Amino acid sequence: MKWALLSVWDKTGIVELAQALTEKKYNIMSSGGTGKTLAQAGIKYTEVSSYTGFPEMMDGRVKTLHPKVHGGLLGRRHIDDAVMARHGIDRIDLLVVNLYPFEAMSKQQMDLEKLIEFIDVGGPAMIRAAAKNYKDVVVVVDPADYPMIMNMIMEGGIPAEQHLDLAKKAFARTAAYDAAISNYLYNLSSPFPTTFSVQYTNGRALRYGENPHQLAAVYGVSGLAGTEPVQGRQMSYNNYLDVNAGVALLREFEESAAVFIKHNNPCGVAIGSDIFDAYITAREVDPVSAYGSVVSVNDEVTKKLAEEICRTFVEVIVAPSFSRDALEIMKKKESMRVLVIPEESGADEIRTVDGGVLVQRTPAYKEHWEVITDRDPSAEEMKALQLAWKVCKHTKSNTIIFADHRQTLGIGAGQMSRVDSAKIAIEKACAPLKGSAVASDAFLPFPDTLEVAASAGATALVQPGGSIRDKEVIEAANRLHMAMVFTGIRYFRH
């Protein structure tokens, strides 16, 4: 007769699983709250303390840490049988455990002395023991797997290959649990731990990486990483990067807005009276670059907008929602991914470098806009400056953005020289730049960029300020009758 040991914090589905096990002639062993739950459902079980001969002690800290439990989990069939028999150790064939909710409780601003009681010891020890002996023991750590386990048991047993899959999941769970505890304790005295541990689940292989010769996968259950298209092709590595860039910029706007992204940079951004108007305006900023772009809009895609989107080649369309008619129309574009904007996850930014990672966190901050020239911006110039500045934050450095009060006019991104970025933005401008506003992601070290912008027709400029030559730049702005605003915040994007 087989033994199953059940010890869970989350009681979801445990009664149904125990009933199925009982039906298939499993002896059930349990303790504490799990045992009470089973008893209330009329399910017979053996108390762990009765089996080991030792009572639960130390307010439940010590329950399953006993050789008869761990011997039952670790004992190798046909190798350790004699030792197990000599010491009265029964084989445990199935272990079902989920852990004290340390991750959830650590978010409740709880006193450390209370929180440490939610650090599970016996649970991880049993999980690791069972997972190590996966050939002989099935270990289940996720209630979502109970239906699968029940079906397999009813159909004759759990296949050997499933043992290893469940063991992998078990080790991943204990690794994540230990990482959460480690990070929390380190963060009590420092914003970043000496040892940084992170784990993402829901891994899905992608067709390839940035290029066809590279391998790639995406991990995550929330935010964009956990999002799949509602229709269209599978997302690619580059699609995820571009969607991430586009949605981050889109979230800067409360009014109807559209963002076109190409190679991780915006190539057209506009606000409009409605989302259709914003889409058309943003596309016409740079219609050549808009071909094959990733498009994000912040209102529902209607039939009218879907028809317009389908008139050109769009890699991905991202929106809060899509009307039924819109989805039917876009089905004709089988290669176009249709994605619903998820809730923002707010996670740290992590990037790899040779031999390690860089971790970046953006705490709450406030810009301090200050007019530092003789002339204040007009109301329309201020709106244009605000739009240009929003786009500037999400464009690769060095960047210069020309805009009016409703759209970008020219975008110069990713150049080694700020002056070159300005010249590229001027060259790519979709309309005359007379009366336009300009944004620079970092301070102007010399007046040259401002002078190039002014010669193109710009009349206002926004930048962080902070250069040792700020005085020269301010004097140049006054001489050219430009309004200039300092924000005090730099937005490098590498």
Please give the Cα distance from 460 to 404 (Å, whole number).
10
Residue 259 scores a pLDDT above 90: yes
Please give the Cα distance from 319 to 330 (Å, whole number).
13
Query: 461-487, pLDDT tens digit by residue?
Result: 999 999 999 999 999 999 999 999 999
Between 59-73, 102-116, 159-173, 310-324, the lowest mean confidence (pLDDT) is in 59-73
Considering only the top CATH level, what class is 3-187?
A: alpha beta
Residue 383 scores a pLDDT above 70: yes
Please give the Cα distance from 329 to 333 (Å, whole number).
8
Confirm or reject CATH 3.30.2130.30 for domain 228-340, answering yes or no. no
pTM for the whole thing? 0.85
Query: 208-221, pLDDT tens digit by residue?
Result: 999 999 999 999 99
According to the model, what pLDDT value does residue 31 have?
84
Q: Which residues are catalytic?
A: 132, 263
According to the model, what pLDDT value does residue 62 have?
67
According to the model, what pLDDT value does residue 57 have?
63
According to the model, what pLDDT value does residue 437 have?
98
- Looking at domain 370-486, its CATH architecture is 3-Layer(aba) Sandwich (3.40)
The neighbouring-strand residues paired with 345 are none
According to the model, what pLDDT value does residue 41 have?
86
Domains of the chain, residue spans: 3-187, 228-340, 370-486
- Per-residue pLDDT, averaged over 136-153, amounts to 91
According to the model, what pLDDT value does residue 401 have?
98
pLDDT band at 132; cut points 50, 70, 90:
very high
According to the model, what pLDDT value does residue 59 have?
67
Please give the Cα distance from 322 to 328 (Å, whole number).
10
Query: Is 370-486 the same fold as 228-340?
Result: yes
According to the model, what pLDDT value does residue 193 have?
84
According to the model, what pLDDT value does residue 346 have?
82
According to the model, what pLDDT value does residue 285 have?
96
* Mean of per-residue pLDDT scores for the chain: 92
Query: 178-198, pLDDT tens digit by residue?
Result: 998 998 888 888 888 888 888
Residue 107 scores a pLDDT above 90: no
Phi, psi at 115, each rounded to 5° = -65, -35
